[in-house]
Amino acid sequence: MQDKTHLVDEITGHRRMRRNRKADWTRRMVQENRLTVDDLIWPIFLIPGTGIVDPITAMPGVNRMTVDKAVEAAKMAADLGIPALATFPDIEIELRDQTGSQALVANNLLNQATRAIKQAVPNIGVITDVALDPFTSHGHDGILRDGEIVNDETVEQIVKAAILQADAGADMIAPSDMMDGRIGAIRRGLDAHGHQMVGIMSYATKFSSAFYGPYREAINTGGLLKGDKKSYYIDPANGTEAVRDAALDVEEGADMLMVKPGLPYLDICWRLKEAFGLPTFAYQVSGEYTQIKAAAMNGWIDGERAMLETLLSFKRAGCDGVLTYFAPEVARLLAKRD
């Protein structure tokens, strides 16, 4: 008589991985990574005016908000326990120019929002991106001269913009432009202006990616962008180059590192965490968000489970947290489960 159990035992010996998976209680006991509200940074979009909440077509469930509405959103986020916001302005097209001069206006939309949020909700962290793309008429992150994004002149401008952002109350500056030498220059600039305690979260490894599409609709740079960003963002084919780039940012004084986009670059998250041990964050970018939302809206995947699974994958890959448009939704869900 053939005993099937013995057949399997001959192969597995005493080892059966499924013992630990057999019940909810064992699964909870052996779970290695957990997602909590403390892992979330919420990126929000700002528009001029008052009282407006304007849906972004390519990002279902995400809105552009005037400063007063952003303050309400910040209160809600703080109540949910979300530690920090990342702010992105969608300014008037007439105010955008070749060099992104609005970045140097002390009370520009971005800085107005920081002031208002920090005054109303002092306990939520405000992280400001210091790239020039929301302010340039060509949609590039730097100053465009004779068809080239000029590095050092851009860095000079970014340092000035970062100081103004810190003056407005930004807790952390996040440069996403990928210019060489910007981290060290921003650090020196901040320190020289009494902002020693303002941190730098470097978009250390920012890849030239197709997944930024919906963001460019959100801040209206998509139609403006001439050419591509391949001369400053990293080639998606390159992992070792990304680690070298991050090493420079660490040397120059970055407090935290970011990998962007997230899901296609989990290997980079792992490599940076292993190499430097700095607090490391993934940016689950607009296209990643939209993929999940669009498929869920069509009934093709379970959106809630896909959201949680992707966020958890960042933790497994060594990240300390995630910038995600899902932040309020997932915070609410986690609160319900506790």
Query: Which residues are marked as active site?
Result: 206, 260
Burial class (CB in 10 A: 0-12, 13-18, 19+), 235: exposed
Whether residue 279 is preceded by a cis peptide bond, meaning omega within 30 degrees of 0, is no
Q: Among 129-137, 148-156, 163-171, 249-257, which window interacts with ligand PBG (CB under 6 A)?
A: 129-137
Residues 182, 195, 216, 271: which binds ligand PBG (CB under 6 A)? 216
β-pairing, 172-174 vs 125-129, is parallel
Contact between 286 and ligand PBG (CB under 6 A)?
A: yes
- Kindly write down the DSSP assignment for every residue of 211-277, as one continuous string: GGHHHHHHTT-TTT--S-STTTSBPTT-SHHHHHHHHHHHHHT-SEEEEESSGGGHHHHHHHHHHH-
Contact between 285 and ligand PBG (CB under 6 A)?
A: yes
Q: For the window 236-275, what string marks contact with ligand PBG as x by the rule CB under 6 A?
A: ----------------------------------------
Strand partners, 43: 86
Nearer to ligand PBG, 13 or 223 (CB): 223
Cα–Cα distance, 97 to 139 (Å, whole number): 10
Nearer to ligand PBG, 39 or 141 (CB): 141
Contact between 133 and ligand PBG (CB under 6 A)?
A: yes
Neighbours of 87 (CB within 10 A): 25
Residues 42, 46, 83, 141: which binds ligand PBG (CB under 6 A)? 141
Measured torsion, CA atoms of residues 190, 194, 198, 199, in degrees rounded to the nearest 10:
50
Q: Among 24-32, 154-162, 210-218, 234-242, which window interacts with ligand PBG (CB under 6 A)?
A: 210-218
Least distance CB 133 / ligand PBG (angstroms)? 4
Cα–Cα distance, 6 to 53 (Å, whole number): 64
Nearer to ligand PBG, 171 or 288 (CB): 288
Q: Is the dihedral of CA 253, 165, 118, 193 positive or negative?
A: positive
Nearer to ligand PBG, 122 or 227 (CB): 227
Contact between 212 and ligand PBG (CB under 6 A)?
A: yes
Residues 45, 135, 207, 215: which binds ligand PBG (CB under 6 A)? 215
Nearer to ligand PBG, 162 or 285 (CB): 285
Residue count, binding to ligand PBG (CB under 6 A): 12
Least distance CB 222 / ligand PBG (angstroms)? 8
Residues 39, 90, 129, 171: which binds ligand PBG (CB under 6 A)? 129
**Could you tell me which of 160, 174, 241, 168 has the C-alpha nearest to residue 207?**
241
Overall size of the chain counted in residues: 338
**Could you tell me which of 292, 131, 87, 160 has the C-alpha nearest to residue 225?**
131
Least distance CB 32 / ligand PBG (angstroms)? 28
Cα–Cα distance, 285 to 90 (Å, whole number): 17
Residues 229, 271, 273, 293: which binds ligand PBG (CB under 6 A)? 229
Neighbours of 43 (CB within 10 A): 23
Contact between 176 and ligand PBG (CB under 6 A)?
A: yes
List of residues contacting ligand PBG (CB under 6 A): 129, 131, 133, 141, 176-177, 212, 215-216, 229, 285-286
